[in-house]
Amino acid sequence: MIAELQCVILDCPDPQSLAEFYRSLLGGNVNQQDRRWALDEGWATLHTPSGLVLAFQRALNHVPPRWPDPTRPQQFHLDLGVPDLDRAQEEVLAAGGTLLDDSDGRGWRVYADPAGHPFCLVRH
């Protein structure tokens, strides 16, 4: 092993809003003091209860992925484990997420965050 994962960083048009969206899904603290990152209007962080840190970086002229369109691929996505897909979906939609594929019967559903990044809710 030569490295340790510090955080996952998502490009987006509005870092603070996207950090708040993911806080509503995962819990944790937005813009918690951390010696590793300086916070400003172009950067926000979310320290989750599990220890994972997500960061959100302003990208001018951000062009979101368009799942499942191969001309604008997702490049990566997050899988978020939930005990109840229906209840979790209500909360995702209320927080500003968009349902992309309900995939009934498969145990997972695909959504987009407010900046267009795909993510999945997976029943665990």
pTM: 0.86
Check: CB of residue 113 under 8 Å from CB of residue 119. Answer: yes
For residue 90, the 8-state DSSP code is H
Distance CA 119, CA 116 (A): 9
Cα-to-chain-centroid distance, residue 14? 13
Token pair 């009934």: residue: 104
- Average pLDDT along the chain, 124 residues, taken 10 residues at a time: 83 96 98 88 95 94 90 87 94 97 84 94 89
Question: Mind listing the pLDDT tens digit for each residue in 89-107?
Answer: 999 999 999 999 987 678 8
Non-local (6+) Cβ contacts of 11 within 8 A are 57, 58, 59, 62, 115
Q: CA 33 from chain center: how many Å?
A: 20
Whose CA is closest to 88, among 109, 114, 60, 73? 109
pLDDT of residue 109: 93
The Cα–Cα gap between 67 and 73 comes to 6
Q: Check the CA dihedral 87-106-25-97 and report its sign.
A: negative
**Which pLDDT value is given to residue 59?**
93
